[in-house]
Amino acid sequence: MTTSRITRVLPGFRLSLGITLVYLTFIVLVPLGAVFIKAATLSPEQYWEAVSSPRVIATYKLSFGASLLAAAINVVFGLMLAWSLVRYSFPGRKLVDALVDLPFALPTAVAGIALTAIYARNGWLGQYLEAYGIKIAFRPAGILIALIFIGLPFVVRTVQPVLEDLDIEAEEAAACLGAGRMATFIRVVLPALAPALLTGFALAFARAVGEYGSVIFIAGNIPMVSEITPLIIITKLEQYDYAGATAVASVMLVVSFVLLLLINGLQERTRRSEQKVS
Amino acid sequence: MPIDLRHLVKIGVVAFSLGLHVLSGPASAETRLLNASYDVSRELYKDINKAFRAAWKKRTGHDVIVNQSHGGSSRQALSVIGGLEADVVTMNQAPDIDILVKRGGLVSEHWRTEFPHDASPYFTTSVFLVRKGNPKGIRDWNDLVKSGISVIVPNPKTSGNGRYTYLAAWGYALQREKSAEGASAFVAALFKNVPVLDGGGRGASTTFTQRDVGDVLVTFENEAVQLERELGSGRFEIVYPSISINASAPVAIVSKVVDKHGTREVSKGYLEFLFSPEGQEIIARHHFRPRDPAILAAHARNFPAIATFTVEERFGGWEAVQGDHFSDGGIFDRIVTRR
């Protein structure tokens, strides 16, 4: 690599990289490092006990499982939403466009309370669902609903600009060359969108794993059934068990980081194969 | 869409300086106290602070402003440990003050003797709130373990309110079953009937009254009375069990902070005011049981007699309770993971 030899129009490689590293260090690495340093005050046995009790294991399954599922659902419906917003013009489009961002801006506790009020057995939706034996509030299903809610904008907002830049001519060409509608979508549109969809998925997932505010109101928080990992961390903190809390947090961090790395790698691959095709 | 770069810079500068301004906070010449308190004492201290301001002005001629910070009792203790410069702490359970002694010596280890009644100006107790007409016929703790009864209790791990409920049920069962095993089985059966574990007392109240979940809410008397009277319009009834726990609300001066602020005297005056007849009267009006016998007698109608036991009497103190019941892998954890 001879990057330093290349003359650029805008100088400042060293300066910007330096600032990047310092900024990342103070904003991200130092706080995260503190988590591991605090967790390291535990002996290996204590650490293992803190992160592997049955109650904590149950929360990992729920937190990561529900987050992955919610992100996957958001990829499907987020793509549809982005598609509608980009490809069609209809009355109120601007309004819908603005609505998508609302889960970003709303305090998560408000979202949690609103969702609980709707899905509780005396709520607008809950009372009808209850008649069919479907219970959402205070059940794991409620957690999923909350995570879908907060993750939606991530998918829509990452896919939307890519979709806007996508040349309709490519689809027309595909159609002219005899590709059916399904084939056009799957072989022409989807590959171009795949990197953006993966990014949206990763962001929605990462956000969902760490979400606390909205989930806590709708979850029911029953041990072994509907407790999320962030709740375990808060519970330990409230009992002044800093080390135990950071131990669980470190497990979350590592698992999330590995999953995000995997998604990034996948994205890199789809992008490369996409380039090869074009 | 072209964006004018200068506009962007201007917006950025405005936002940044606004942020700085908000973060730096106000400056003032008056004496200011910060009282870090728990969740549901908000309304009480609003009245106390107003009355104290007037009383202090009359006594010393000085102006004082008392600011409040509210949150879960343990979370507030964590904030004070973390550097929240509270001059006084008014909590709902002693462990949240003991931790301030242990971590960094913020509070004197003799805090219990600095004010009367183990430094607790009032107490309350865990009672039942049931729906109108008491359709499930709930009279005492043993009704809560019956199958088909749905009980709302806040999480004992995160909430003082829930912790007192747990201990009240344990104390009742210990008296009846005469053994720790029996008590453990009883409390396990009770928590099997809990469909939602909210993080705090207010959350549990909301679940019971607004979401219509549960047949009975076990909560502090002050909270139950407030719910019955203010939300009520005859929707709920209070049931007093045969015996319950004495939930004392302790107060303390945060020595390290008052020494730094030079506010020890006024902080002491503030906490002493809680024990004065005027303070006790305000406390009673907020449905907390006052220590002053005369004022308790004057409000007897609002405070039906109920047998209570303290944590010290039945459990040998908070230290033992924390270790045996609420530590990780303790009795509570074992009860709830075995469902």
Tens digit of each residue's pLDDT (9 = 90 or more) over A162-212? 999 998 888 888 888 988 888 888 888 999 999 999 999 999 999 999 999
Report the pLDDT averaged over residues B22-46: 79
- Structural domain contains residue B62: yes
CA–CA min distance A243, chain B (Å): 12
The pLDDT score that the predictor gives to residue B23 is: 67
Contacts for A51 with CB less than 8 Å, ≥ 6 apart: A247, A248, A250, A251
**Given an 8 Å threshold on Cβ–Cβ distance, is A222 in contact with B194?**
yes
Tens digit of each residue's pLDDT (9 = 90 or more) over A15-28? 999 999 999 999 99
- B339 at A interface, C-beta within 8 A: yes
- Structural domain contains residue A30: no
Beta strands in B110-173, from DSSP E residues, in sequence order: 122-124, 126-131, 151-154
Q: Domain check: are B328 and B215 in the same one?
A: yes
- B337 at A interface, C-beta within 8 A: yes
The pLDDT score that the predictor gives to residue A78 is: 96
Confidence of residue A237 (pLDDT cuts 50, 70, 90): confident
Judge contact between B170 and B183, C-beta under 8 A.
Answer: yes
Report the pLDDT averaged over residues B118-124: 96
What is the number of domains present in chain A? Answer: 1
Candidates A222, A228, A246, partner chain B, best to mutate (most B CBs within 10 A): A222
- Structural domain contains residue B10: no
Mean pLDDT rounded to a whole number for chain A: 90
CA–CA min distance A137, chain B (Å): 10
- pLDDT over 80 (residue B26): no
Confidence of residue B243 (pLDDT cuts 50, 70, 90): very high
The continuous run of DSSP H or E covering B244 comes out as strand B243-245
Q: Is A225 helix (H, G, I), strand (E, B) or coil?
A: coil
The pLDDT score that the predictor gives to residue A1 is: 46
Tokens linked to A98: 């603005």
- Structural domain contains residue A91: yes
The pLDDT score that the predictor gives to residue B71 is: 83
- B157 at A interface, C-beta within 8 A: yes
- Structural domain contains residue A187: yes
Tens digit of each residue's pLDDT (9 = 90 or more) over B271-282? 999 999 999 999
Task: Please name which of B337, B147, B130, B209 lies closest in space to residue A55, comparing C-alpha atoms.
Answer: B337
- B1 at A interface, C-beta within 8 A: no
- pLDDT over 70 (residue B339): no
The pLDDT score that the predictor gives to residue B232 is: 61
What is the number of domains present in chain B? Answer: 2
The pLDDT score that the predictor gives to residue B311 is: 94
Q: Which residues between 130 and 189 in chain A have a beta carbon less than 8 angstroms from any beta carbon of chain B?
A: 137-138
- Structural domain contains residue B176: yes
Q: Is B37 helix (H, G, I), strand (E, B) or coil?
A: strand
The pLDDT score that the predictor gives to residue B194 is: 94
- A46 at B interface, C-beta within 8 A: no
Q: Domain check: are B89 and B174 in the same one?
A: no
- pLDDT over 90 (residue A131): no
The pLDDT score that the predictor gives to residue B160 is: 87
Contacts for B150 with CB less than 8 Å, ≥ 6 apart: B193, B194, B195, B213, B214, B215, B216
Q: Which domain holds residue B136?
A: 126-245+306-337
CA-nearest residue to B335 within chain A is: A223
Tens digit of each residue's pLDDT (9 = 90 or more) over B272-321? 999 999 999 999 999 999 999 999 999 999 999 999 999 999 999 998 99
Percent of chain A at pLDDT > 70 equals 96
Report the pLDDT averaged over residues A43-60: 92
Confidence of residue A2 (pLDDT cuts 50, 70, 90): very low
Helical ranges in chain B per DSSP H: 5-24, 42-60, 73-82, 95-102, 116-119, 160-177, 180-192, 201-209, 221-226, 255-261, 264-275, 277-285, 293-298, 311-315, 318-321, 331-337
**Given an 8 Å threshold on Cβ–Cβ distance, is B337 in contact with A138?**
no
Confidence of residue B327 (pLDDT cuts 50, 70, 90): confident
Eight-class DSSP state of B215: S
Q: What number of C-beta contacts closer than 8 Å exist between A and B? A: 82
Mean pLDDT rounded to a whole number for chain B: 90
Distance of alpha carbon B147 from alpha carbon B116, whole angstroms: 44
Q: Domain check: are B199 and B217 in the same one?
A: yes
Q: Which residues between 78 and 137 in chain B have a beta carbon less than 8 angstroms from any beta carbon of chain A?
A: 78, 99, 103
Q: Which domain holds residue A155?
A: 43-277
- Structural domain contains residue B12: no
CATH number for the domain that contains residue A155: 1.10.3720.10
Report the pLDDT averaged over residues B155-182: 92
